[in-house]
């Protein structure tokens, strides 16, 4: 069997389910890339599995899901001249990303080009069906930007080609309800997922979409509800929180005050299950490999929200919104898992307490589909403890390796 692994000696299993939080057990068994068993080491079947990871009391949680990326066709962000930014995010624990509209110099989305936008969506979907940044990151590409001239036949053709995302309405392309409403009927007919952003115009081509328009068009998600990066008046956000059940996306580089006010309002309503996380990279304010990690710390430490619930916003909540079979530590789910811990010297006794006290946390291992991908993110926070693979240390202790060369499977660094 391939992609089989046992993770034992786990201190906390953070489920990614906002209702379940931390679940019992100290061992996870993965077979054929799926979570096969969760429980105590003496109660689960580990027969036939040769790769044993000792977590040394660290916590395990699902890989993070970044719900808002503006990508090109490879691991490159032209706005920043950044190469390998998605791979870096993978090594920092983000195992899934979702496009909110591909972009780059000369792209058809900027020129009201229906044929080009349709072709770009199909091409990007096909590219990311076969290309995983960092060798493993699950990138859902091919988000169609709505422009003049698209027909129902176009939506059917794209659906038949596997395209299922529509880029954030208001972030470029058409946003007038009279123009997009007919297209959204076709989108619903063919099973597309669509989002609408809530923000004033921030870049050329973006547009203002009111909260009432969002309520009328009933998207699957409100993109960067706290601003991308400038926010609307809070009364518009309150309307969406109180008069709908639409999932609300928060981005780490949106308006900081509204980020916190939204979380507190939704916590009082007992509706934190509607909150998901995104980076809006690279156009928000930068290309941020650790964006989701930062959003989790910010959400928990500044708003009195239990860290395991903040982690669920970046994992299980997003999986539920998009219908993914990942994002939770649950039997039958894809084994996209990371081992995380508090940083050395933290006042937090474990990673959850560290997050709640505002300390950035680190990961000591990233696993995708049951395959070890990395032992640590590039320049991510160091962890107080480390993993052992079949009894061998899997960590770095030298400054050069820590800052610049995180170990990959098959490579081992340790200062003598």
- Residue 415, pLDDT > 60, answer no
pTM of the model: 0.94
Mention every residue, 6+ apart, whose C-beta is less than 8 A from residue 415.
397, 398
Q: By CB neighbour count within 10 A (0-12 exposed, 13-18 middle, 19+ buried), where does 226 fall? A: buried
Tokens of 312: 């669920």
Give 110-129 pLDDT, tens digit per residue: 899 999 999 999 999 999 99
- Residue 309, pLDDT > 70, answer yes
* Ranges of each domain in the chain: 5-62+328-404, 64-289
Q: What b-and-e string marks burial along 2-17, b requiring 16 or more CB atoms within 10 Å of the CB? A: ebbbbbbbbbbbbbbb
Distance CA(361)–CA(382), nearest Å, equals 8
Q: By CB neighbour count within 10 A (0-12 exposed, 13-18 middle, 19+ buried), where does 210 fall? A: middle
pLDDT for 375 equals 75
* Share above pLDDT 70 across residues of the chain, in percent, rounded to a whole number: 92
Q: By CB neighbour count within 10 A (0-12 exposed, 13-18 middle, 19+ buried), where does 130 fall? A: exposed
Domains 5-62+328-404 and 64-289 fall in the same CATH topology: no
Tokens of 255: 């308006």
pLDDT for 73 equals 87
Fold for 5-62+328-404, please state it.
Urease, subunit C; domain 1 (2.30.40)
Distance CA(231)–CA(415), nearest Å, equals 48
Tokens of 47: 């027969």
- What is the H or E stretch that residue 152 is in? helix 152-160
Question: Which of 143-157, 204-218, 392-406 is the least confident region?
Answer: 392-406
Q: Tokens 């395959």 correspond to what residue?
A: 371
Give 47-91 pLDDT, tens digit per residue: 999 999 999 999 999 999 999 999 988 887 777 777 888 988 998
Sign of dihedral through CA atoms 318, 320, 326, 331? positive
Q: Are strands 392-394 and 12-14 parallel, antiparallel or unpaired?
A: unpaired
Tokens of 205: 């081509």
What are the Cα distances from residue 158, in Å, to 124, 277, 328? 11, 27, 30
Distance CA(153)–CA(19), nearest Å, equals 42
DSSP per-residue letters across 305-318: --HHHHHHHTTHHH
| Omega of the bond leading into 112 within 30 degrees of 0 (cis) | no
Distance CA(158)–CA(193), nearest Å, equals 13
pLDDT for 412 equals 45
Beta bridge partners of 166: 144, 194
Higher pLDDT, 406 or 329: 329
Give 270-300 pLDDT, tens digit per residue: 999 999 999 998 876 666 788 999 999 999 9
Q: What is the largest CA-CA distance in the chain?
A: 68
* Residues 145 and 175: beta-carbon distance below 8 Å: no
pLDDT for 200 equals 77
- Residue 36, pLDDT > 60, answer yes
Number of H helices and number of E strands within the chain? 12, 23
Distance CA(144)–CA(156), nearest Å, equals 13
- Residue 409, pLDDT > 70, answer no
Mention every residue, 6+ apart, whose C-beta is less than 8 A from residue 387.
53, 54, 55, 56, 58, 339, 364, 365, 375, 394, 395
Higher pLDDT, 407 or 261: 261
* Residues 359 and 297: beta-carbon distance below 8 Å: yes
CA angle 360, 361, 367 (to 5 degrees): 140
Q: Are strands 5-8 and 12-14 parallel, antiparallel or unpaired?
A: unpaired
- Residue 205's pLDDT band (boundaries 50, 70, 90)? low
For range 293-313, the mean pLDDT: 97
pLDDT for 289 equals 82
pLDDT for 414 equals 46
pLDDT for 298 equals 97
Fold for 64-289, please state it.
TIM Barrel (3.20.20)
Distance CA(291)–CA(201), nearest Å, equals 23
């Amino acid at each position: 069997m391939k992609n089989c692994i046992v993770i034992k000696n786990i201190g906390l299993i953070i489920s990614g389910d906002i209702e379940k939080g931390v679940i019992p057990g100290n061992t996870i068994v993965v077979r054929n890339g799926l979570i096969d068993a969760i429980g105590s080491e003496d109660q689960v079947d580990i027969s036939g599995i040769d790769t044993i990871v000792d977590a040394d009391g660290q916590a395990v949680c699902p890989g993070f899901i970044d719900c808002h990326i503006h990508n090109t066709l490879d691991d490159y962000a032209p706005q920043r001249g950044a190469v390998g930014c998605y791979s870096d995010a993978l090594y920092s624990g983000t195992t899934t990303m979702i496009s909110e509209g591909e972009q780059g110099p000369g792209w058809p989305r900027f020129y009201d080009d229906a044929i080009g936008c349709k072709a770009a969506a199909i091409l990007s979907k096909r590219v990311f069906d076969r290309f995983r940044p960092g060798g493993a990151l699950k990138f859902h590409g091919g988000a169609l930007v709505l422009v003049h001239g698209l027909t129902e036949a176009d939506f059917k053709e794209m659906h038949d080609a596997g395209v299922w995302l529509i880029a954030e309405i208001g972030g470029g392309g058409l946003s007038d309800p009279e123009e997009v409403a007919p297209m959204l009927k076709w989108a619903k007919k063919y099973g597309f997922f669509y989002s609408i952003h809530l923000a004033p115009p921030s870049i050329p081509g973006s547009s203002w979409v009111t909260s009432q328009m969002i309520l009328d068009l009933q998207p699957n998600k409100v993109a960067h509800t706290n601003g991308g990066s400038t926010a609307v008046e809070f009364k518009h956000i309150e309307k969406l929180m109180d008069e709908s059940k639409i999932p609300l996306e928060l981005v780490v580089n949106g308006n900081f005050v509204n980020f916190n006010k939204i979380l507190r309002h939704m916590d009082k309503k007992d509706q934190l299950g509607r909150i998901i996380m995104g980076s809006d990279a690279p156009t928000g304010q930068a290309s941020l490999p650790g964006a989701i990690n930062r959003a989790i710390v910010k959400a928990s430490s500044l708003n009195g929200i239990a860290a395991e619930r903040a982690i669920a916003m970046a994992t299980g909540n997003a999986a539920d919104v998009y219908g993914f079979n990942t994002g939770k530590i649950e039997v039958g789910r894809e084994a996209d898992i990371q081992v995380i811990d508090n940083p050395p010297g933290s006042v937090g006794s474990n990673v959850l307490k560290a997050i709640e006290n505002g300390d950035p946390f680190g990961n000591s291992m990233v696993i995708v589909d049951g395959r070890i991908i990395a032992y640590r993110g590039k320049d991510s926070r160091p962890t107080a403890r480390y993993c052992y693979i079949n009894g061998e240390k899997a960590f770095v202790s030298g400054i050069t390796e820590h800052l610049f060369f995180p170990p990959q499977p098959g490579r081992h660094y340790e200062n003598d």
